A and B are shown apart, each in its own frame.
Chain A
Amino acid sequence: MITLNINKKNYNVDVDPETPLLWVLRDVINLVGTKYGCGMAQCGACVVHLNGEAVRSCVTKVSRAVGQKVVTIEGLSEKNDHPLQKAWIELDVPQCGYCQGGQIMSAAVLLRENKNPTDKDIDAAMAGNICRCGTYLRIRDAIKLAAEKQRKGI
């Protein structure tokens, strides 16, 4: 039995320690906001926070998360009111939406470490998150808007 702390809640799961964290989140704990894209850390759809870092859960063995703090898109904010979530809604960023959970989780790390990111900062931070619908320009605008909201505390 493995104990995981996910979104501030402890879960006991009976899984092989080699299982990718993604499958434990989706299939065992039923947190399905985190998506499976490529399975080899190439696309970013599966990004979750492990102790605050934007790890790719498809290649992260669940054993790496034991005793650590995992946050998924469901736990990013209490009421879906993270500045990024607000900005995403305000600018209608998603098209199909499949990659957006991973996009937001990556952007959250950027905004934590850089309160006023430039286009260059955003491109560097988000280069590992692919969007087949091509919403990149709206993502960039939303990150800037979220940064502004964060700075103003709104």
Chain B
Amino acid sequence: MKLHSKFGKTYFLPVKTIVVLAFILSGIVLMSFSFKNESSNAKNEMINKDSVESVKAFMDVYKVLTSPRCMNCHPSGDVPLQGDDSHIHTMLPQRGKDGKGIYAMKCSNCHQPTNLEGLNKPPGNPNWHLPPANMKMVFEGRTPDQLAKQLINPKTNGNKTLQQLIEHADDGLVKAGWDPGEGRTVPPMSHEEFKKAWITWIKTGAYAPKP
């Protein structure tokens, strides 16, 4: 190929080089599209938006989160609730800065790493605590709409991403709700059913029911 410049010079470009360059360039363009598609697919797998299914799943989640086993440690005040009637915890233990109580009234002073035998004994877990004072994550008194919005906002959910929220279903203290010790009712569905509803809610878009 012969090219003439405006200065009268003539340049020869190798046809072979141009073909190879074009081939590489098209490869890169195709690959970038392919990566984009993969990334979109991953996102689509995470969020497959369906507001009807999402809200339906959340209503099951809501029943669990507002049952005594979950709500009692997510109170609207700074004292936990207690019992199936969610009364204020006797002895009035305070939340404290880190959610683990204060002074001689720290949760683990009474709540042991495991449940104890017998009625009315303190239930146990090695990680017993309330949410911390700077992010109280209140469940008590929240409407479905309010709770759903609170749960997906990292500023009000303990700085959790959607993926971390999904993993939270298997948190040891969450699961303790289904092993509450003698004389306490468990949440209104099994942990397996709850986890399914929880993940469905999140993966279908984490929609909040209408207020």
Question: Are the CB atoms of B102 and A125 closer together than 8 Å?
Answer: yes
- The digit string for A37-60, where 1 denotes a CB below 8 A from any CB of B, is 000111000010000011110011
> How many whole Å from A51's CB to the nearest CB in chain B?
11
Chain A contact surface mostly: mixed
Chain B contact surface mostly: loop
Question: Are the CB atoms of A127 and B105 closer together than 8 Å?
Answer: yes
* CB within 8 Å for A59 and B110 given contacts A109-B103, A114-B103: yes
Whether a CB of chain B sits under 8 angstroms from the CB of A61 is yes
> How many whole Å from B18's CB to the nearest CB in chain A?
76
Whether a CB of chain B sits under 8 angstroms from the CB of A64 is yes
* CB within 8 Å for A128 and B120 given contacts A54-B104, A64-B112, A110-B103: no
Closest-by-CB residue of B relative to A130 is B91
Q: Contact residue range for chain B?
A: 20 to 34
Closest-by-CB residue of B relative to A125 is B103
> How many whole Å from B116's CB to the nearest CB in chain A?
6
Whether a CB of chain A sits under 8 angstroms from the CB of B24 is no
CA A41 – CA B104 in complex, angstroms? 13
Question: Are the CB atoms of A126 and B90 closer together than 8 Å?
Answer: no
> How many whole Å from A4's CB to the nearest CB in chain B?
17
Whether a CB of chain A sits under 8 angstroms from the CB of B113 is yes
Question: Are the CB atoms of B103 and A124 closer together than 8 Å?
Answer: yes
Closest-by-CB residue of B relative to A54 is B104
Residues in chain A within 8 A of chain B (CB atoms): 40-42, 47, 53-56, 59-61, 64, 105-107, 109-110, 113-114, 121, 124-129
